Structure 1
């Protein structure tokens, strides 16, 4: 059972790789045509949903793996707080993405919405990298 959970946990971590790449994808958005922007933002919106499912998978399988391992309480608290922050940010990103798609379709200015998504995705990418650090090195600062 543990091997199956580790497999699912690694599979979920691959889904979170999207959040590390997201700031770079959004960095080139301004240079695209309007229709390309709409397609890109729509794709990011869909991939955000899959990333959220990956976070849920990570949280559930990680909870199982924590119960089978010997981890310090500070490490567990830090990791849970980081995952909750990542989940919150991925959820918050959803609204500006939706508003950006609607604005692009209505041919309105969407730089504010894209700016919010870019900022939030940068913070989220940093959080994901910090989570990976704690998973690999299993230490608390």
Structure 2
């Protein structure tokens, strides 16, 4: 019996490692292909931007006006942003097509002065239209 040869033989190690690596590669490829087949890969680029907005309401000048200012965060394509009160949508008009920190939007409120409880939202919608997110919400408290 050749006991020394049994302990020094290492030919079987290489094929086992090869099989393990092939199985791992197959599992990873199946996961990636499955993600795109199920449509989950389309949503990767549709993540909402990170941005902060502030609101300022002025009712002293005789006309009601709500000013929304982009305080900080990502620059956002203006076509993706609307300000809504639940019934009316206001677009954001910038000359350079990007809303950046420091840019603001004033909305003239033609109805009666805010009485309390009215909520305005800055809403972002993805380019494909499949995702949307409220970036900031403001509620007037009388």
Scaled by the length of structure 1, what TM-score is found? 0.23
Instruction: Write 1 or 2 for the structure with the bigger share of helix.
Output: 1
* Higher CA-based Rg: 2
Q: Which has the higher strand share?
A: 2
Scaled by the length of structure 2, what TM-score is found?
A: 0.23
